[in-house]
């Protein structure tokens, strides 16, 4: 396995911090959005967009690019920040989020935002769509890889398992699901609302290779992303154990912050906490 340098790890961790601060700033500015799930995916998005994905901002529709679908579309603030800093659209445009005529919709819109592969918002679609993309790649002889970032609450949706079944049937080894397992959904703890466990066994029984990591540990994320490329006979899921609201003490593990923007005072406090980690 490739050894990732300390400087790469450090750089990506800083990118993740930037994603958190700016995503929260977007949510605060707009007074709308989903801070909890946007904060929990920061390291995963940083690893993908600033290191792992084969994408070209100059040519967003490059046919052989890797595909990324944010199936948990409500966490789009983090993705928008990543896309802007990767050069898919001007960073300045992040301020237009939610305005009329903005290219940045409340949830991802493939027709409006450069770099968004697929419209998402209502949960459960990403994996089956990813399966279709992988089947098409196989027919066309392309080698690109498709990554689908799932929420944990989303795993309660039947259609997600329809997609999993299809991916398993066709042994779509170019498909990787990444599960943001923060154990909090809109109404409360996932393990209370509708438990997912035993989750590892569920995915295994659907013919997925299962890798479990700490979703805030950059080295583990990078290693797992390398590992999935070595699996050639089945789709994979990276179960990333995360903390909802990660990095902001009063948001962590609290369903209250699933879909609510911080007020001015709360934002100042949150930002200070996120930046303080630097020292």
Helix (H) or strand (E) holding 69: strand 67-70
At closest approach, how far in Å is the CB of 256 from other proteins? 27
At closest approach, how far in Å is the CB of 118 from other proteins? 6
- Contact present, 155 and 199 (Cβ < 8 Å): yes
At closest approach, how far in Å is the CB of 60 from other proteins? 13
# chain residues binding other proteins, by CB under 8 A: 30
Please select the residue that binds other proteins; options are 8, 9, 21, 159, rule is CB under 8 A.
159
Q: By C-beta, is 123 or 190 nearer to other proteins?
A: 123
Q: By C-beta, is 38 or 166 nearer to other proteins?
A: 166
In sequence order, what E strands does 164-257 have?
175-181, 184-185, 188-189, 209-214, 236-241
Question: What are the structure tokens assigned to 262, written together?
Answer: 């911080």
By the rule CB under 8 A, 143 interacts with other proteins: no
SS3 of residue 179 by DSSP = strand
Q: By C-beta, is 28 or 67 nearer to other proteins?
A: 67
- Contact present, 165 and 234 (Cβ < 8 Å): no
By the rule CB under 8 A, 9 interacts with other proteins: no
Restricted to residues 186-245, the positions that interact with other proteins (CB under 8 A) are none
Note the helical H segments in 86-157.
Answer: 126-140
Distance CA 177, CA 126 (A): 9
By the rule CB under 8 A, 162 interacts with other proteins: yes
x-or-dash string of contact with other proteins, 88-117, rule CB under 8 A:
---------------------xxx-----x
Nearest to 164 by CA among 65, 224, 234: 234
Give the number of other Cβ atoms within 10 Å of residue 153's Cβ. Answer: 23
At a CB cut-off of 8 Å and minimum separation 6, what does 167 contact? 127, 130, 131, 134, 175, 206, 207, 208, 235
At closest approach, how far in Å is the CB of 146 from other proteins? 8
Cis peptide bond upstream of 64, omega within 30: no
Please select the residue that binds other proteins; options are 136, 194, 229, 272, rule is CB under 8 A.
136
Strand-pair partners of 176: 147, 236
Please select the residue that binds other proteins; options are 33, 35, 37, 130, rule is CB under 8 A.
130
Helix (H) or strand (E) holding 147: strand 146-151
By the rule CB under 8 A, 42 interacts with other proteins: no
By the rule CB under 8 A, 137 interacts with other proteins: yes
By the rule CB under 8 A, 140 interacts with other proteins: yes
Residues in contact with other proteins by CB under 8 A are 63, 67, 109-111, 117-119, 121-122, 125, 128-137, 139-140, 158-159, 162-163, 165-166, 170
């Amino acid at each position: 396995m490739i050894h990732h340098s300390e400087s790469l790890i450090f750089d990506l961790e800083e990118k993740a911090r930037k994603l958190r601060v700016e995503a929260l700033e977007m949510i605060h500015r707009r007074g709308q959005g989903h801070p909890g799930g946007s904060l929990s995916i920061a390291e995963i998005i940083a690893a993908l967009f600033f290191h792992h994905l084969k994408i070209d901002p100059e040519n967003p529709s490059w046919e052989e690019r890797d595909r990324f679908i944010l199936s948990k579309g409500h966490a789009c603030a983090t993705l928008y920040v990543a896309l802007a800093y990767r050069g898919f659209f001007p960073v300045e445009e992040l301020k237009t989020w939610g305005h009329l005529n903005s290219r940045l919709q409340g949830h991802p819109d493939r027709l409006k935002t450069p770099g968004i592969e697929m419209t998402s918002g209502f949960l459960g679609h990403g994996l089956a769509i990813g399966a279709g993309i992988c089947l098409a790649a196989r027919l066309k002889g392309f080698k690109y890889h498709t990554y689908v970032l799932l929420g944990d609450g989303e795993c309660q949706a039947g259609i997600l398992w329809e997609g999993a079944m299809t991916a398993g049937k066709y042994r779509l080894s170019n498909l990787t699901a990444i599960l943001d397992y923060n154990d909090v959904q809109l109404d409360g703890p996932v393990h209370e609302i509708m438990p997912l466990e035993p989750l590892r066994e569920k995915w295994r029984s659907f013919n997925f290779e299962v890798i479990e990591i700490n979703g805030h540990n950059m080295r583990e994320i990078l290693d797992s992303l390398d590992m999935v490329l070595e699996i050639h006979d089945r789709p994979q899921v990276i179960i990333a154990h995360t903390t909802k609201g990660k990095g902001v003490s009063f948001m962590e593990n609290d369903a209250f912050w699933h879909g609510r923007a911080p007020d001015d005072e709360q934002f100042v406090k949150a930002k200070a906490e996120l930046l303080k980690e630097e020292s």
